[in-house]
Amino acid sequence: MDLGHEYEIPASTASWITDPVAGGDVQVTLQMAGDGLYIFDASGKRLHLWPYAAIMNAGADFVLAHNGHPDVRLTVGDHGVYKAIALRASQLSQPPERFTRTQEERTRDAVWSSMSVRTFLTILLGTLAVSAIGTLLLR
């Protein structure tokens, strides 16, 4: 079925919709079109069409809702897909920084964090050792 979609998001992208009326979580395929975000179930049946202006953040990272049906939640399983939707739905916040940093930035931060912990432990152990030695000398 050609709906004039500009972007088709592969079904392998782990996205799902939580719809209390439909009975819970359903894995979905997403398609971005000029008029909104199409949401299909595994069989290809269209479940929803969410106009971009009606999409809102639902309180958790990569979880979206339709402003007319806030109890229906769409969890987007890929930050690139979320960013593509957020570009169309400008009211959405961009993905948290921890999902958009490069591998080099994450490695650098981990190294600095590790060095800080080691420095803190060295100073703590040194302070405890000096304190223990002082206590022994005063006896």
Indicate if the pLDDT at residue 98 is higher than 80: no
Weakest-pLDDT range from 13-17, 75-79, 100-104 = 100-104
User: Does residue 43 contact residue 31 with C-beta atoms inside 8 Å?
Assistant: no
Indicate if the pLDDT at residue 2 is higher than 60: no
Q: What is the mean pLDDT of residues 32-43?
A: 88
| DSSP 8-state class, residue 44 | S
Indicate if the pLDDT at residue 100 is higher than 60: no
State how beta strands 55-57 and 63-66 pair.
antiparallel
Count how many Cα atoms sit within 13 Å of the Cα of residue 101 in the half-sphere of its side chain. Answer: 11
Q: 7-99: which CATH number, 2.30.29.30, 3.30.70.1290, 3.40.50.2300, 3.90.1300.10?
A: 2.30.29.30
Higher-pLDDT residue of 115, 11: 115
Token duo for residue 5: 């979609």
Q: What is the mean pLDDT of residues 14-29?
A: 82
Q: Which of 74, 76, 84, 94 is nearest to 6 (CA)?
A: 84
Q: Domain segments of the chain: what residues?
A: 7-99, 102-139
